[in-house]
Amino acid sequence: MTGILGAATIALLLAIVLMRVAILRRAGTVAVQFGKTDRRDFLIPPFAVFYFYLIFASALHWPTPLHSKMFDSTAAAWVGIASCIAALGLMFVTLLSFGQSFRIGIDTDHPGALVTSGAFAYTRNPIYVAFAAVLIGEFLILPHWVLLLYVVAGIALLHRQVLREETYLQSYYGSEFTRYRKRVPRYF
Partnered with residue 32 across adjacent β-strands are 104
> Over the stretch 8-65, which tens digit does the pLDDT of each residue have?
999 999 999 999 999 988 988 888 877 777 777 888 899 999 999 999 999 999 999 9
CA 170 to chain centroid, in Å, comes to 22
Q: Which residues, other chains included, contact 111 with Cβ-Cβ below 8 Å and sequence gap of 6+?
A: 101, 172
| Segment 112-141, tens digit of pLDDT | 889 999 999 999 999 999 999 999 999 999
Per-residue pLDDT at 148:
97
Confirm if 92 and 86 have CB atoms less than 8 A apart.
Answer: no
For the segment 85-92, the average pLDDT, to the nearest whole number, is: 97
Alpha helices, DSSP H, located in the chain = 2-26, 44-60, 74-98, 126-141, 145-173, 175-183
Give CA–CA dist 81/76, Å, rounded: 9
Please tell me the CATH code under which domain 2-183 is placed.
1.20.120.1630
Residue ranges covered by each domain of the chain: 2-183
